[in-house]
Amino acid sequence: MNDLVLNNGVKMPQLGFGVFQMDQADECQRAVEEAIGVGYRLIDTAATYGNEASVGRAIKNSHISRDHFFITSKLWVSDFQGDKPTEAIDRSLKQLGSDYLDLYLLHMPYGDVFNAWRALEQAYHAGKIRAIGVSNFTADQLMNLELFNDVKPAVNQIEINPWNQRELLKRFCEQQDVQVEAWAPFAEGQNHLFTNPILSQIAQAHQKQVGQVVLRWLMQRGIVTIPKSVHRQRMVENFDIFDFQLNADEMKMIESLNLRRSFFFDPRDPAAIKSIVGGGRPGANQD
């Protein structure tokens, strides 16, 4: 397992486990317990997923010391105003049964972003959060936040997968020393990702599965990622990506799959913003 070092010196595992769309408390707890058993230590949840308490129970049941985990959660836009961010951070901590978070993100770049960010800064200085970051921010939004605040985001969690590779935004984040983290690394299987002929050909050459090739491609690009699965066999498969290497030709073949579009939402699209802020689920297929 690779660890990366964030811009404030905090170490973050490069591969983790996402729990979006695990709505049933017992299913989420069981999946996280299995993921911990497989070896995952980075768990990515969010207040809006409604499953922080299940994640907290799974961590507690593991009897593994808290400092071996890297727990990420996210602040939802309805909690960006007034005193709400501070209350929401405390609520996340309580749900997770922890007195600190490893990483806390502004989930979306909408609403009272500056107020929310300053609450995250305060919690960071108070030692409640080891690193603070953002999600779904574009380059201009990131620069605006950086220029008018004290703490630079440590992470930008954005959609990245073979269909939507975000090369320009990735490069910008790297120039700013902001770690890129990929959500929906498999595009949730959209556009027949798991049977794509090019990915299948590369997988066959390495005697690996398509999902493993996609995760390996992300690792080799220096990106953190958090694949989700409720199936133990897939958790094992998604974790078993450190014993092979894609060569330059294979990396180029994957690069050629870039459609430069999302199968979920475009964060700059006014209709998408209205839907997300109005209660649409971030990352859930909007089609």
Site residues for ligand NAP per CB under 6 A: 18-20, 44, 107, 135-136, 157, 183-189, 194, 211, 226-231, 234, 237-238, 282-283
Catalytic residues: 49
- C-alpha–C-alpha distance, residues 212 and 223, integer Å: 14
Q: Of 102 and 188, which CB lies nearer to ligand NAP in the complex structure?
A: 188
Count CB atoms within 10 A of the CB of residue 67: 8
| 22 close to 48: Cβ distance less than 8 angstroms | no
Q: How far is the CB of 229 from ligand NAP (least distance, A)?
A: 3
Q: How far is the CB of 225 from ligand NAP (least distance, A)?
A: 8
Express the helix, strand and coil content of the chain in percent, nearest 5 each. Answer: 45, 15, 40
Structure tokens at 192: 């027949």
Q: Of 249 and 281, which CB lies nearer to ligand NAP in the complex structure?
A: 281
Count CB atoms within 10 A of the CB of residue 261: 10
| 193 close to 210: Cβ distance less than 8 angstroms | yes
Looking at the chain, the number of H-run helices and the number of E-run strands are 11, 10
List the beta bridge partners of residue 70.
Answer: 42
User: Where do the H-state alpha helices sit in the chain?
Assistant: 25-38, 52-62, 84-96, 113-125, 139-147, 167-175, 197-206, 210-220, 232-239, 248-255, 270-277
CA distances from 72 to 96, 103, 170, 265 (A): 10, 5, 20, 22
Q: How far is the CB of 101 from ligand NAP (least distance, A)?
A: 14
The single residue listed with the structure tokens 């990352």 is 283
Q: How far is the CB of 3 from ligand NAP (least distance, A)?
A: 19
| 38 close to 15: Cβ distance less than 8 angstroms | no
Q: How far is the CB of 185 from ligand NAP (least distance, A)?
A: 5
- C-alpha–C-alpha distance, residues 287 and 275, integer Å: 12
Q: How far is the CB of 10 from ligand NAP (least distance, A)?
A: 19
